[in-house]
Amino acid sequence: MDNDLWVFVAILLALTATVLPTIAFFHRCRACGSLAHGFKSDKLANFRTGEAFFVCRRCGDRTVKGKVESDGSVAWLSGGTGHFDESGHYTGDAGGVFGDGGADGGGGGGGDGGA
Ligand SMILES: [Zn+2]
């Protein structure tokens, strides 16, 4: 029985070791190539243009990653949603793919209107 557990753990680790670099590769910073970009990028909103950005912590490159509404709610192109406060500071994910741990997890995403 114990052996089964270790096999499971080994498979899990192998999957993680395979998937994470793949994700990192596809979401690397287009400007400086930072592989941490997909995991540790800052988020920024421009309410004037309605664009939400990921900002590379290494080189500062901005990539449009979502649409922000005037009330601060953002819909990420990658599928998640979140919220910015009035100053453009990101306050949390509501099920985003790239939550970097800053999200408080509360609040729920609200209805997404289906479709
Ligand atoms: Zn960069």
31-81 pLDDT per residue, tens: 999 988 877 889 999 999 999 999 999 999 998 999 999 999 999 998 999
- Ligand 1 mean position, distance from CA 30 (Å): 7
Q: Which residues, in sequence order, are CB contacts of 29 under 8 Å at separation 6+?
A: 37, 41, 56, 58, 59, 61, 63
- Ligand 1 mean position, distance from CA 53 (Å): 13
Which residues are near ligand 1, the ion (C-beta closer than 5 Å)?
Answer: 29, 31-32, 34, 56, 58-59, 61
Residue with tokens 């609040």: 107
In a domain, 80, yes or no: yes
In a domain, 100, yes or no: no
In a domain, 115, yes or no: no
In a domain, 16, yes or no: yes
Question: Whole-model pTM?
Answer: 0.60
104 pLDDT above the threshold of 80:
no
- Ligand 1 mean position, distance from CA 34 (Å): 5
DSSP at 33: -
pLDDT the model gives residue 94: 66
In a domain, 52, yes or no: yes
**Mean pLDDT (whole number) for 9-26:** 93
- Ligand 1 mean position, distance from CA 67 (Å): 21
In a domain, 48, yes or no: yes
Residue with tokens 């979401």: 27
In a domain, 9, yes or no: yes
Token code pair at residue 1? 């029985």
Integer angstrom CA distances of residue 57 from 16, 20, 70: 24, 19, 26
**Domain interval for residue 19:** 2-93
Give the strand order in the sheet containing 42-46.
42-46, 51-55, 62-68, 73-76, 81-84, 90-93
Domain count, the chain: 1
In a domain, 50, yes or no: yes
- Ligand 1 mean position, distance from CA 58 (Å): 5
Q: Terminus-to-terminus CA distance in the chain, angstroms? A: 45
Nearest to 31 by CA among 63, 1, 69, 5: 63
